[in-house]
Structures are given as C-alpha cells and as structure tokens.
Structure 1
Amino acid sequence: MKRVEVDVAIAGGGPVGLMLACELSLAGVKVSVFERREARVKQSRALTLHPRSLEILALRGIAERFMARGRPLPSAHYAALDTRLDLAALDTTFGWTLILPQTLTEELLEARALELGVGIHRAHRVTGLQQDDEGVSIEGSCPEGAFHARSRFAVGADGARSAVRTLAEIPFPGTEATMSVLLGDVVLSEPPSAPAVVRVGAEGTLLMMPLGDGVHHRIVVCDPDRLRVPLSEPVTLEELSVATRKVMGSDYGMKSPFWLSRFGNETRIASTYRQGRVFLAGDAAHIHLPAGGQGLNVGLQDAMNLGWKLCGVLQGLAPASLLDTYHRERHPVGQRLIQDTLSQSALFFGFHREGLALREVVARLLRVPEANRVLAEQIAALDVAYPEAVLPAPPGMEAPPELVGRRLRDLPLPSGDGTRRSLYELLHDGKWLLIRRPGAPTATSRAPRAELPGAWARWTSVVVADLPGEPAALRGGSAVLIRPDGRIGFVAR
C-alpha cells in the first residue's frame, strides 16, 4: 500500500485545491493533493477570473502569469441583461473580468504548485476518511492499488459530489435541479462580428462568446420548450443548432463540437465548512446555477481564506480557534452567492411576459450608476468584508468594526527614503504586514512597538511607509496591521 504523511491532505486537484496547496506550501507546510482524474480536464467549466480573484493572485505575485494568457473585459453581465455591469468603475487595479478558460487557470496553478514542491497525486480516488484528536486518515484507490494518507488536517476541494463531504457526514441541504440548459463549445463557420452576443426573448435565452483559443465559441442556450430535459440525456450538435436558430435565426454554421453538455440549477450549501479537522472549499461547499462564473472565483477566495489560517495554526503562530473563523467568514459569502444565483435564475428563465417585463425593469435600474456599482461589486466580490477580528489584538492596537476585515486595493507605498513599493508586493510571502507611518511613535501605550511580541514577530513583516488613498477612517492612525489576505486586521490610533 502506498503511504503518504503530510500536514494537510487535499482531495481535489482543480483550481481550488491547487490554490490552497500553493498557499500552504508557500509557508513551508507539507501538503499533498489527491485528484481522482488521471489528467487535467480539457473542457473549461468556467471562463472568467473576477477582480477579487485577480487581486488574491496579485497578493501572491502571480497575477501577471494569468494576465499574459487571458483577455480583459471591462464589463460583466448579470442574468444576461442588456445593461452590463461596469467593472472599470470599481476601486481596484483590476477593473475587468479576465476571459481565461478554466483549463488554463488550472494549468497555471498546477505549475505554481509544482514550483513550490506540492505533491500532486493523480488517479487517486478517496474512498475512506477517519479523524481523531491528532489528525485525519484518508484511504482510497490509486495506480499502485491502494493508498493511505495521514495528515493533521484534510480539505475537500473535490467538487459538487465531494467524497470528503460525504465521508465526513456534512449535510448539504438545498434543492435539486428543476431546469436544464444547453452548452456547446463549437467551431462557427460564420461567427458574429460582436465579441459577445446575448439575446433574450420569448423564444429563449442565448449567450455566445469566443473561448479565446482562436477556434471555438461557447454557446449557452435555454430553450423554453426543453427546460425539463434530464441532465443525463446526451446533447447533440443538432439539438444545439435547433435551439440556437430558434433564438437567433441562425446557427452561424456551427460544426466540429469540442464539448457538448447540459447543466442545471441545483442549489446547495454545506451546513458547515468545518467538521473537526476536515474542511470544505469551492464546489464541495456550495453549488448553484453557474451564473457569471462565480463558483470558481468564490472557490479560489475560499482557498485563500483557509490557507493562511491553516498555516498560522500548523506553524504554532496562532491558536486553533483561528480555524473556526473560516466558516464564520466564508459561509455567509456562500449564502449570499446562493441568493445571487437564485435571483439570476428567476431573471434568466423569465421567458413569459411577466419575466420579460421584470428583466426590462432591472436592466433599466442598472443604468443608474449607483445601482450598477452595487451589483458589479457583488459579482466582483470587492464588497466582501469580515467585521470581526480573527485574533486578539496585539498590544497597542484595536479592531474597529468599521475597518476590520475590509480589503485594501493595491497601492504604491512611498517610504521615507523616497522609494515606492506596492502594497501587494509586500504581502507576497503570505505573512501579516505592519505598516507604520513615518515619524509615528514606537513605544507608547497607544502605538505598537517596531517589533511585535511573541508569535506576531515571527508572522509579521514590518515596513515604515505612508498608506495613500486609504479609507478615511484610517487617517490619523499611527499604524495598520494587514492580514495575509490583504484585509485590515488591526489599527493603532
């Protein structure tokens, strides 16, 4: 039997599992990924990376790798409405959605994981899981016959049918799929001139866009007369062609299908993201209608949140209670994701007169900049904040509710010697970051010392710099302590 002993065992080698593995290995945590597939899938479930996902990649110094392979688009759709969401107006250096097939996202994350020394075990199917006070034992099948992995913690990033979630007996309440939608990645002999096509009417809903490989287009189409077709029924090119012609009047000469599939609106969220030493992330924790590619992006953000917390506990830098904050912070985000995709479902499948009228009303509301910004920030995940401190404050610091847990955009930090460094650049190592203003006191009861005490000193980088453009509530403070995920942790007045 093949035996593996690591600090963290991750089931699932998709983007979420690989992102988590990178975060752990960056901090020196020994981690292995167990993936049931023999090779990466060639079909791309998701096609976009949203602004907050690009920010977390930038926080670890790898965003440029993704930007070099993708195509930025400064807008996004909401339920295929005519009025698009303006991402360029958002407070971020990444004011766009990056068109990048999931296959490339996975390829780039796997390359990074291998750089960091992550053990990736393919064709390993998890079939058993037991946990005790000291750790977790996982067993399963593999090319060598069977494997046994022992770890201090285990994470299920193994998708909607998660074996880890099932074996850990974590409830996954929700609703079954009630509708099905056609998807096809095909070659178009006569592609449209527009880079993306959206059409909604009584005949159905259609979205069409190039995949970015210069060959294929993705077509997603809802046929009101075939919404109840079982997901298990194979899709044919003829079915996709008929549905496309019904909505558009043409099938654009579609041929040579690379992938044909059917997806539904099954909606579920795990009752808890943590069960003892077992955690869930990504689709293992939440599934929904894939509206706007949010599932992949929220999963990557789950991984970032869990990763630095596991690192802190495993390295003895933080109490075990820090791990409880993973569920407290991310489960509400998952619940809001469910609410958002359910609302998009109502608009997306609104083919009757009342539904079409509602679509027009919402599209008109989105022409109001303030309303557009609310939904744009939500889809981009830039409005997520965590209003409670995850750890007791260091000496001389506090966690004001109006600031704690708020993300900071990337900023150039001018220092006293005239040089500038990017805020995100200073967080590439995955540690906390203490920014002390030039001239701030260093040894008063209301300001942190230049060197933080105890474990804080081993888990924190310190820099003296101004923080231009910061939230107004920060002005006048002598220092700010930033979490490894680029969010405000504590401040000193």
Structure 2
Amino acid sequence: MQFHLNGFQAGDPELHPAGQTQLPIQPDAVDVLIVGSGPAGLVLAAQLACFPNILTRVVERRGGRLQLGQADGIACRTVEMFNAFGLAEKLLREAYWVNETAFWRPQADARQGIHRTGRVQDTEEGLSEFPHVIVNQARIQDYLLDSMLKSPQRLAPDYNLELTDVARDSHPTHPVLATLTHADGGQAVQVRARYLVGCDGARSKVRAAIGQQLRGDAANHAWGVMDVLAVTDFPDIRLKVAIQSASAGNMIIIPREGGHLVRMYVDLGEVTEHNRTAIKATRPEQLIAAAQRILHPYALDVKSIAWCSVYEVGQRLTDRFDDAVDGAGAAREPRVFIAGDACHTHSAKAGQGMNVSMQDAFNLGWKLAAVLQGRSPSSLLASYSQERQPVAQTLIGFDKEWSAMMGARPKDPLNPAAGGVDPAELQAYFVKAGRYTAGVATHYPPGPLTGQGTWQGLARGLVIGTRLHSAPVIRLADGRPMHLGHAATADGRWRLYAFADASGQALNALCHYLEHDPASPVRRFTAPGADLDSVLDVRAVYQQPHRELKVEQLPGLLLPRKGCFGLIDYEKAFAVDPASSIYQQRGIDAQQGVMVLVRPDQYIAHVLPLDGYRELEAFLQPVFIAQ
C-alpha cells in the first residue's frame, strides 16, 4: 500500500484525501446514477468512488444499510477482486473458510440412515492464492460502503429513494432522465445522468425501462434455507456437506462465519400447481423437521433460527445488458446498463448469483471511468454486454445441471431401475465443476479487449481472456515476498507485466521504448503533466534472485518520479521467488521473456513478445484516446 506521495498523511492511510471539488449532497445532474445498493451496485460505486472527478450517485429504496443478507458464498475469484479494493484481509479474517466438502448418502444395507462416502478438498490445489469463504451478504456490503466513505468522493447511498421511471432523450450531455420517489411519500424528484446502471434486482424497473425481460424456466423444485444455531452429533457439521437421503430428500450444509452458525438448504421436493402454495407457506418448524429426517440417525436440536426462507430453483437471463438497441430495433450508443440479478438469476446451490453480479460491476466500472475521464472512446462501453451476457449464459447452463443433480434422489444399488443420481457421480461432478464454483472459469474470447493467442506459448499458464493467475515474487527494492497480482489495485489502470529474457537486453529495450518513443502507449496515451504510470502501469519481473540485482541499475521507466514532489516509486520491479519460480509455475519462456497485458478488471488482454512494440500499439490504439 502506497501513501504519503504528495505529503505526510497522518491517521488512517485508507482514508483518501477528499476531492478538491465540493459536490452537492443530492445532485440533480450526475455522471453515473446507480440504482440499487446490493453487491453489484456497491462494487460499481466503490470502483467509481476512486475517481474524484466523476460525480456518482447511488439511490436505494431501503431505509438504510442491509442488516441481514441472503447470499453468503464468496468465490476465490471474488476474494481476488476484493484484494484489489484493499478488502481481502478484513474479509478473510471474519469469514468461514470452506476447506473441504463431504458427501453423505444412504447405506447400502440400511437405507434409512446415512453415512459418509467421500471427503474432498473444496478448491483445486493452486487454483487461487485465496480460499472459497462464507460471510453474510450484509457484511460484504458493509466492507464496500466503508470503502466508499474513505474514497475521495466520500460516497454514500441516498436511502428511501425508489426509481419510478427512466427515459432517454436528446439532451446533449445528460440524456438519461430518472424519476425518483421518496419512500415517505414526498414530492418526486428528477435526476439527469450521463449513464444509469440498474442494480435493482430480479424485479428491476431499469430492465423493464429498456425493454428487456428475464427469460427462462423454473426447475419446479423447492428448497428451504435457514441459518441456525443448533446442537447436533452429526460429525461434519463444520464442513460443507452434500447429503442424499433415501426417501427424506437432500440437504446441503454450509457452516457460517463465527464458528457456530450453520446454513442448511433443505430439499422440499417437486413443485406442482397443486402444492406450490403449501410449499411456499412452509413454516420454520417444518424445515427443522425435514432436516431432522434427512440427518437420521443423527440428532439435530435447533436452538435459534437467524433467518429462513423458501424458494424455487430458477435460472433466467436477459438477451442483453444495455440499451444499445432502441425500441425500433436501431443501434445506438448505450447509456443505460443493468447488472446482477437485474439481468441474470441463479439458484443458490452453485454460489454464483452474488459473485457473478459483482464481476459484472467490476467489468463495467473501469470502462465507465475510462470513458468519463476521456481516456477511452464511448465505443468501449459496448463491450460490457458483449462480454458479460455470454458469461452469465454459460454459468446458468452449469447451474442448471448442478441444481438438477443436487435435487435428485440417490440411486439405490439394490433397485437401479428406480433411477436417481449415483452419489459417486455427484462427487465427481463437484470436483470437475470446481473452476465454476471458484469463479475462475470465465474465459473471454478474442475481441476488442482480448487478443489472439499467436504468442500464447510464451506464457502458457497466463491464458489470454482469463483472469491473471497470480504467483509469488520478491519485490526488489525491499525484499518483500508477495504475490505479483497483489501489486494491482482497483484504480482503473491497465497493467503491463514484462517478464525478463535470459540476458535482460530485450526487457531493457522495451523499457526504453515505452519511456521515450512518442509512439509508445505510455507516451501517447498519458495526459501531459500526469504521472508516467497513470494509464499504463508497467512492472517487470527478473529471473535472478533479488540480492543479485541492483536497484540503481534499473531502467528509468521502473523508477518513475511521481506526485507533486517527484518522488521515486520503488515498487515496479520484482525478482523470482527461489522457492516458487513464477516462470515455472506459469510456463513463461525463460529464454525469450514475454509481455503480459492485463486489463483493469484483472483479465489478461494479450500476451506478446518483448519486442512486440507495434503489436502492442495496434492493440491499444482502439482502446485509448491519444492525449
């Protein structure tokens, strides 16, 4: 973490200096209006709050902060994202870590009981440096809200405001007109925005305003969910557990943070027109009784219920996530976007909903910032729906299959004709699907922000279109062991990681080109007077141990002078960790070296040779506006 750049700053270093421009408390004209303060809305707000010159407003119909949320699973990929916001440490300290998953099914010779048939590592070894964790949605939102209050904007939601209408007109700068109503029945207010983002849930009014619909079918299978404090002799109560009983239904157990609370997803069976009303009216004591039957012969004594609900499994998706097509079917520049549950809904079994929603917002946030700051053309915003809608479609396909398997009865080895799912097959599918549940399965295809794989062989483990898979390095200037990916923060900058060739000459030549050539992206796209790394943050990884390298011999690009005092940034150069070489871990060509270009949302945009200057220029030219 870097601070004191423009003068000594006493107190909390996470409290950024307030922006110089005093913004009105409730502005009626904004750059971005965010509707909804759920996980997607707050990730977007936290991203935009980093930029003091972007006027952002968040409106929420609730009266204040969420006290108890429904979602709880935080995928490894989401923790990686939270680390870029400086929130991972707090999250990991408080959360329950999902280390292992156990599988239980009926005994072959005693079908009325259950026994453990498998116990596997929850996340594949080496998939991420962070674990899969569990923490209440309300706490996730608290982290983001606190981060926003410490940002240059000192941003906080305006509560008790509900969106009632959205319209686009020909206004030259703020063509989106939103009508808001106070919850206390006060006079309606109107806000003009350059862009509006609907993060207002499955009943989204923003989605309706842009003519989109959630399409899909319910699976006609109901589950009850409850967070409980209980006493039990079930031995795996502090593990994630998938249970298949012979005739009482299935159940998923997920321990919660704090060491005592447990979430139970209880199978309530098939839903028909005849029983739907009765199932929706399932009482807490009925859920407890169902859980007790599934756990037999183990006892379950529920002492307290913190929260419970009943829902039907369903996966739905909109055709697009923006208003880039008007009511007459004509193409136009997108100005209104939807994210999260407003454009896709998932079951709770695969833990996708909240995680995918926050990744939507992370994808959109840096693009909005780049356009509003004049660093990128507005055409960049079309890539949001183009990238995220197919991701949601793929994850819904996985979610359907996984939910169907979890809702099926176990196959009886003594009566195979009765059908069902083989518990061994369920366990095998869980292991196979680990990349989806960890959140690292997203792979953007070649496009405007994702290059072709011509030089992929130079870094086989850093795959174009996937998130940067971090690995350990040693920071050269202070000898600090760290992960390379942790050098990046959610500040809207692109990263160029240059892995040195065997001699180091190609790396030195690259640094000289980037620093001095007028055609280089650093020179061409950085505004006059701005820090040299304000658009493209270049960092280098050397092959030698850090004690064999000399800071004073680094290229000038890796020791940039920054801020009002021209202080030197010593955190641009790294060496391999001798205990775990990043070159070997990520399949980097040690003879030739490689450039790895990474987008602000941590996804790899391109892999290029160290002398691929023109290819780098050609790729970035449509992304940025020359300064």
Alignment RMSD: 3.2
Residues 483 and 5 from structure 1, CA distance in 2 versus in 1: closer, same or farther, beyond 3 angstroms?
Answer: same
The equivalent residue for 2:471 is 411
The aligned amino acid for 2:497 is I
Instruction: Give the 5 Å matches for 1:25-36.
Output: 25-28=49-52, 29-36=54-61
Match of 1:455 among 514, 517, 525: 525
Task: Determine helix, strand or coil for the equivalent of 1:440.
Answer: helix
Match of 2:443 among 363, 385, 390: 385
Note the C-alpha offset of 1:439: 3.6
Q: Distance in 2 between matches of 1:443 and 1:212?
A: 51
The equivalent residue for 2:149 is 114
Q: Distance in 1 between matches of 2:418 and 2:104?
A: 12
**Is residue 337 from structure 1 mapped to residue 395 from structure 2 by the alignment?**
yes
Contact 2:104–2:118 (CA under 8 A) maintained in structure 1: no
Note the C-alpha offset of 1:88: 4.5
**Is residue 200 from structure 1 mapped to residue 244 from structure 2 by the alignment?**
yes
**Is residue 89 from structure 1 mapped to residue 125 from structure 2 by the alignment?**
yes
Note the C-alpha offset of 1:226: 6.6
Contact 2:84–2:488 (CA under 8 A) maintained in structure 1: yes
Instruction: Give the 5 Å matches for 1:89-488.
Output: 89-94=125-130, 96-116=131-151, 117-132=154-169, 134=173, 135-142=175-182, 143=184, 144-176=186-218, 178-190=220-232, 192-194=234-236, 195-196=238-239, 197-201=241-245, 202-214=247-259, 216-224=261-269, 228-230=275-277, 233-249=280-296, 252-275=300-323, 276-351=334-409, 353=411, 357-363=420-426, 365-366=428-429, 372=431, 374-391=432-449, 400=454, 402=456, 403-414=463-474, 419=479, 422-428=483-489, 429-436=491-498, 437=500, 438-440=504-506, 448-449=514-515, 452-455=522-525, 458-466=534-542, 468-469=582-583, 471-472=586-587, 476-488=592-604
The aligned amino acid for 2:423 is E
Q: Distance in 1 between matches of 2:471 and 2:410?
A: 48
Query: Which range moves more in the overlay, 444-453 or 302-311?
Result: 444-453
Note the C-alpha offset of 1:243: 1.3
Match of 2:35 among 1, 8, 11: 11
Query: Which range moves more in the overlay, 318-327 or 138-147?
Result: 138-147
Residues 344 and 356 from structure 1, CA distance in 2 versus in 1: closer, same or farther, beyond 3 angstroms?
Answer: farther
Contact 2:96–2:134 (CA under 8 A) maintained in structure 1: yes
Note the C-alpha offset of 1:461: 1.7
Q: Distance in 2 between matches of 1:474 and 1:320?
A: 37
Task: Determine helix, strand or coil for the equivalent of 1:472.
Answer: coil
Note the C-alpha offset of 1:321: 1.6
Q: Distance in 2 between matches of 1:105 and 1:356?
A: 41
Note the C-alpha offset of 1:413: 4.3
The equivalent residue for 2:48 is 24
Number of corresponding residues = 482
Identity %: 27
Residues 47 and 449 from structure 1, CA distance in 2 versus in 1: closer, same or farther, beyond 3 angstroms?
Answer: same
Contact 2:409–2:421 (CA under 8 A) maintained in structure 1: no
Residues 429-461 of structure 1 show CA distances to partners (whole Å, capped at 9, x for unaligned) of 331122334543566799655662332564112
Task: Determine helix, strand or coil for the equivalent of 2:280.
Answer: coil
Q: Distance in 1 between matches of 2:442 and 2:449?
A: 19
Task: Determine helix, strand or coil for the equivalent of 2:37.
Answer: coil
Contact 1:179–1:265 (CA under 8 A) maintained in structure 2: yes
Residues 3 and 355 from structure 1, CA distance in 2 versus in 1: closer, same or farther, beyond 3 angstroms?
Answer: farther
The aligned amino acid for 1:224 is G
Residues 355 and 224 from structure 1, CA distance in 2 versus in 1: closer, same or farther, beyond 3 angstroms?
Answer: farther
Residues 236 and 320 from structure 1, CA distance in 2 versus in 1: closer, same or farther, beyond 3 angstroms?
Answer: same
Instruction: Give the 5 Å matches for 1:67-86.
Output: 67-75=92-100, 84=120, 86=122
Contact 2:30–2:192 (CA under 8 A) maintained in structure 1: yes
Match of 2:84 among 37, 46, 59: 59
Note the C-alpha offset of 1:125: 0.8
Residues 44-78 of structure 1 show CA distances to partners (whole Å, capped at 9, x for unaligned) of 31122111001111123221121121121224589
The aligned amino acid for 1:152 is R
Q: Distance in 1 between matches of 2:167 and 2:223?
A: 38
Q: Which runs of 5+ in 1 are unaligned?
A: none
Q: Distance in 2 between matches of 1:175 and 1:14?
A: 24
Q: Distance in 1 between matches of 2:136 and 2:219?
A: 25
The equivalent residue for 2:551 is none
Note the C-alpha offset of 1:265: 1.4
Residues 221 and 215 from structure 1, CA distance in 2 versus in 1: closer, same or farther, beyond 3 angstroms?
Answer: same
Note the C-alpha offset of 1:85: 5.6
Query: Which range moves more in the overlay, 19-28 or 139-148?
Result: 139-148
Residues 345 and 65 from structure 1, CA distance in 2 versus in 1: closer, same or farther, beyond 3 angstroms?
Answer: same
Contact 2:223–2:269 (CA under 8 A) maintained in structure 1: no
Structure with bigger gyration radius? 2
The equivalent residue for 2:616 is none
Contact 1:20–1:304 (CA under 8 A) maintained in structure 2: yes
The aligned amino acid for 2:286 is E
Query: Which range moves more in the overlay, 39-48 or 28-37?
Result: 39-48
Residues 374-418 of structure 1 show CA distances to partners (whole Å, capped at 9, x for unaligned) of 41112112132223243598xxxx874844323222334456657
Note the C-alpha offset of 1:105: 0.9
Residues 156-195 of structure 1 show CA distances to partners (whole Å, capped at 9, x for unaligned) of 1111111111122113211246222111223324464421
Q: Distance in 1 between matches of 2:450 and 2:218?
A: 42
Task: Determine helix, strand or coil for the equivalent of 2:426.
Answer: helix
Residues 75 and 151 from structure 1, CA distance in 2 versus in 1: closer, same or farther, beyond 3 angstroms?
Answer: farther
Residues 233 and 481 from structure 1, CA distance in 2 versus in 1: closer, same or farther, beyond 3 angstroms?
Answer: closer
Contact 1:224–1:351 (CA under 8 A) maintained in structure 2: no
The equivalent residue for 1:48 is 73
TM-score (normalised: structure 1) = 0.87
Q: Distance in 1 between matches of 2:445 and 2:455?
A: 5
Query: Which range moves more in the overlay, 183-192 or 56-65?
Result: 183-192
Q: Distance in 1 between matches of 2:32 and 2:150?
A: 18
Residues 383 and 198 from structure 1, CA distance in 2 versus in 1: closer, same or farther, beyond 3 angstroms?
Answer: closer
Query: Which range moves more in the overlay, 351-360 or 271-280?
Result: 351-360
Q: Distance in 2 between matches of 1:391 and 1:442?
A: 27
Residues 225 and 314 from structure 1, CA distance in 2 versus in 1: closer, same or farther, beyond 3 angstroms?
Answer: closer
Q: Distance in 1 between matches of 2:295 and 2:477?
A: 61
Q: Distance in 1 between matches of 2:593 and 2:400?
A: 42
Residues 238 and 251 from structure 1, CA distance in 2 versus in 1: closer, same or farther, beyond 3 angstroms?
Answer: farther
Q: Distance in 1 between matches of 2:102 and 2:341?
A: 22
Q: Distance in 2 between matches of 1:405 and 1:111?
A: 32
Residues 78 and 294 from structure 1, CA distance in 2 versus in 1: closer, same or farther, beyond 3 angstroms?
Answer: farther
Query: Which range moves more in the overlay, 185-194 or 319-328?
Result: 185-194
Task: Determine helix, strand or coil for the equivalent of 1:461.
Answer: strand
Contact 2:145–2:156 (CA under 8 A) maintained in structure 1: no
The aligned amino acid for 1:363 is L
